[in-house]
Structure 1
Amino acid sequence: MKLKSIIISAASISLIFGTIACSKEEKIAKEKLQSKPIQVVLSLPNAQNNLATTDVTGQIEATHQANISTRMMGYITKLQVKIGDHVKAGQLLFEVNNTDLLAKRAQVDASIRQAEAAFHSAQKDYDRFTTLYKQQSASAKELDQITLQYNSVKASLDAAKEMRNEVNAQFSYTHVRAPFSGVVTQKLADLGSLASPGMPILTIEQSSGLQVSVSVPEASISSIQLGDQASCMIKSLNKEITGKVVQINPSSQFSGGQYIVKISIPTDQQKSIYAGMYANVRLHSKHHKPTNMALQGESKILVPLSSIISKGQLNGLYTLSAENTALLRWVRLGKTFGDQVEVLSGLAKNEAYIKWADGALSNGAPVINKQ
């Protein structure tokens, strides 16, 4: 019995020592793994000197759009298109009842026939009296009266023909066609509705050209010029495009103190973009000159957004310590410029930071510069 107890105690001691040995080996392996330096890439912040930027919100619109209406009053008898339809220049869009014009044209045609009959009679009299005058069988006074009558009847015939031309032109207002190729974006009336002169029936936008319209405040408009670049972020598509300023409205009288600026969208970037979408726009102007001489030497410190570490309300990035370890540095951020963000404090302009790491970083983790 005593020998059995000794054997059990010896087995227990062996098990304890074995467990301790295994734990020690795991700890050594873990420490060895942790002591392996993480490869990183260091970089210096970018600096932009005297680059004025203006952040505004805008809306995408067609470069060319038109409200289609008619100059005639009448009921819409035919409506050929609907919202979203693509139309070509000259394509029939809608027709307006032209019964009144048909009656008016019939009256004009009757007036023309009557004027033509009077003209033929007056022409015969004029020719006869001209012959008689040459034969000295009619006086000059009689010829003058016949000539005056002839000219009056001829003028009446010409007026009737011009009236017919006017009526024919009005018929084109009852058959309204597309002024250019585009897309129907709005339908303001239906079949059977009463159309009035100047009342919009349809809206057509040219599908081949898009631009962003933004309102720029008075304090920033002086630093913007034609040709300046603009970064436009379309949130609904999570897509960023780069355009140029193509139009600056020099007056804010009818826009609430804001200056309307148009930014072109390159044709190759218009895919999946539709008029009416909203965009956050950043205008970049290289023509801005600081008025304060003390500010002329200032520059912005920019780092990639991908290098920023966010923890709650805090933002930071990793720098390199003197012991070649990762050091988390808390920074205060400013404006965002595309894929870069401005660092207001916490990082010097000539201080390197860790731009990329081959693994997860932590405070005090050994690192090695890959470059």
Structure 2
Amino acid sequence: MKRKTLLTHMAPLALYALLTGCGKAPEAPTQIDAKTWNLPVMTASASAPVEYTTVGSVVSDQRVEVASRLSGYIREIQVQEGERVRRGQVLARLDAADVEGGIRQTRAAQGAAEAAFRDAQTDLERFERLFERGSVSENEMRKVRLKFDAAREALNQARAGLDTALAQRAYAEITSPVAGTVVARLKRAGDLAVPGMPLLTVESGRGLLFETFVAEGQIAAMAEGKPAVVSIDSLPAPLKGTVTRVVPSGDPVTRSYQVKIALPETVGLMPGMFGRAVFTVGESPSPVVPRRALAERGGLTGVFVLDGEGRARFRWLRTGREWPDRVEVSAGLAADERFVAAVEPALREGDRVMPVEAPR
């Protein structure tokens, strides 16, 4: 019985000795030598901007409602919606029969006034000679001079009336005050044009603005000259604009204030386009790192932070807002920590980094 118990205890030991005798001894892990890199290094600082975003539309700063100064029937309108027009181009013509009749009437009045003036001038010259010889009294001479002055003023009045009538003829042709595009045609040939009633609407393609409305809580941060980034949905890249107008009177219903942003001349930018404006209204305590500093190791995104010996230590980051060239860090990086500003794909944990000047 004892012999059987001894064999039972010895069997596992023998089996283990056999297995370890047949196997190879475990190899020591290969030690990878740390490399030295010359890489740009930055110091983390709290500089993430606090941004405020609003929506709006592109508007023309030169939107003109073209109207007539005369009352008359429209003979023809020479443009259509969407048509490009030049400054001074004829857009419409009115029936000028009444104007032409007025011109003929004022010309006749001017002719009569000229004849009366010549007659008064002849009388004045004749009476002056008679007065010098003492043939007429001073009272008669005074009346002749008065008649001459009245004839002269009547002539001036007739000439002014003719100038006014000729100016009315020019108003029968309605021209464009700006170079732009016809965006609305409000009247047709045969309609009655009334002074002050728009016939056409013309928008200039230059001097475009982005019109938006800012909430009451943010209006204090708005001022003329403040930069803004405007993203138009139909354009591939955002535009850098400048606040040019802040209307200091808010809407009592929406509690918002109108703000207009001047935009640069851009191909494809047209009035009516929808977009978003981003204003920087402050700074947050979260640091910002350049995109080229981010590295991915083991499925995690982070940066290489330098320890006290100048060795690279991978640090996982939790990121927040993103921009084209930088990323906000929500957690994982403290202020004043140094990190590699432009990471190399072959950079490994523990490599030594010799700092060089970080590119701007």
On whether the aligned pair clears a TM of 0.5, the verdict is yes
Q: Are 2:81 and 1:83 aligned?
A: yes
Q: Contact 1:318 / 1:354 at 8 angstroms: preserved in 2? A: no
1-structure distance, mates of 2:300, 2:188? 61
Instruction: State the one-letter code of the partner of 2:226.
Output: D
Cα offset for 1:79?
A: 1.7
Aligned positions of 1:310-321 closer than 5 A: 318-319=301-302
Report the counterpart of residue 163 of structure 1 in structure 2: 161
Q: Contact 1:318 / 1:353 at 8 angstroms: preserved in 2? A: no
2-structure distance, mates of 1:46, 1:320? 11
Q: Given the superposition, is the C-alpha separation of residues 145 and 187 from structure 1 closer, same or farther in structure 2, using an over 3 Å criterion?
A: same
Structure 2 counterpart SS, 1:201:
strand
Q: Contact 1:319 / 1:353 at 8 angstroms: preserved in 2? A: no
Q: Given the superposition, is the C-alpha separation of residues 248 and 321 from structure 1 closer, same or farther in structure 2, using an over 3 Å criterion?
A: closer
Cα offset for 1:303?
A: 6.3
Cα offset for 1:250?
A: 3.1
Structure 2 counterpart SS, 1:116:
helix
Find 1:135's aligned residue among 124, 133, 136: 133
Instruction: State the one-letter code of the partner of 1:144.
Output: R
2-structure distance, mates of 1:321, 1:64? 54
* TM-score of the two chains, using structure 1 as the length reference: 0.68
Q: Given the superposition, is the C-alpha separation of residues 321 and 279 from structure 1 closer, same or farther in structure 2, using an over 3 Å criterion?
A: closer
Q: Contact 2:48 / 2:288 at 8 angstroms: preserved in 1? A: no
Q: Contact 1:317 / 1:353 at 8 angstroms: preserved in 2? A: no
Q: What 5-or-longer segments of structure 2 have no aligned partner?
A: 1-38, 306-311, 354-360
Q: Given the superposition, is the C-alpha separation of residues 349 and 246 from structure 1 closer, same or farther in structure 2, using an over 3 Å criterion?
A: farther
Find 2:280's aligned residue among 262, 284, 305: 284
Q: What 5-or-longer segments of structure 1 have no aligned partner?
A: 1-40, 289-295, 310-315, 359-365
Report the counterpart of residue 193 of structure 1 in structure 2: 191
Q: Are 2:152 and 1:154 aligned?
A: yes
Q: Contact 2:120 / 2:147 at 8 angstroms: preserved in 1? A: yes
Find 1:178's aligned residue among 176, 179, 191: 176
Q: Given the superposition, is the C-alpha separation of residues 203 and 230 from structure 1 closer, same or farther in structure 2, using an over 3 Å criterion?
A: same
Report the counterpart of residue 55 of structure 1 in structure 2: 53
Deviations 1:247-270 (A, max 9, x none): 222333799643322212223xx1
Find 2:67's aligned residue among 66, 69, 82: 69
Report the counterpart of residue 273 of structure 1 in structure 2: 269
Report the counterpart of residue 291 of structure 1 in structure 2: none
Instruction: State the one-letter code of the partner of 2:246.
Output: I
Q: Are 2:225 and 1:227 aligned?
A: yes
Cα offset for 1:150?
A: 1.5
2-structure distance, mates of 1:57, 1:233? 9
Superposed CA RMSD in Å reads 3.8
Find 1:216's aligned residue among 214, 218, 230: 214
Report the counterpart of residue 11 of structure 2 in structure 1: none
Report the counterpart of residue 110 of structure 2 in structure 1: 112
1-structure distance, mates of 2:190, 2:45? 65
2-structure distance, mates of 1:51, 1:325? 27
Instruction: State the one-letter code of the partner of 1:204.
Output: V
Count of matched residue pairs:
302
Q: Contact 1:319 / 1:354 at 8 angstroms: preserved in 2? A: no
2-structure distance, mates of 1:227, 1:251? 19
Which is further off, 248-257 or 258-267? 248-257
Q: Are 2:201 and 1:203 aligned?
A: yes
Report the counterpart of residue 124 of structure 1 in structure 2: 122
Report the counterpart of residue 286 of structure 2 in structure 1: 300
Instruction: State the one-letter code of the partner of 1:300.
Output: S
Which is greater in Rg? Answer: 2
Q: Given the superposition, is the C-alpha separation of residues 49 and 339 from structure 1 closer, same or farther in structure 2, using an over 3 Å criterion?
A: closer
Find 1:250's aligned residue among 248, 251, 265: 248
Structure 1 counterpart SS, 2:189:
coil
Q: Contact 2:290 / 2:341 at 8 angstroms: preserved in 1? A: no
Find 2:97's aligned residue among 96, 99, 102: 99
Structure 2 counterpart SS, 1:104:
helix
Structure 2 counterpart SS, 1:105:
helix
Cα offset for 1:121?
A: 1.8
1-structure distance, mates of 2:95, 2:137? 56
Identical amino acids, percent of aligned pairs: 26
2-structure distance, mates of 1:47, 1:210? 38
1-structure distance, mates of 2:252, 2:148? 58
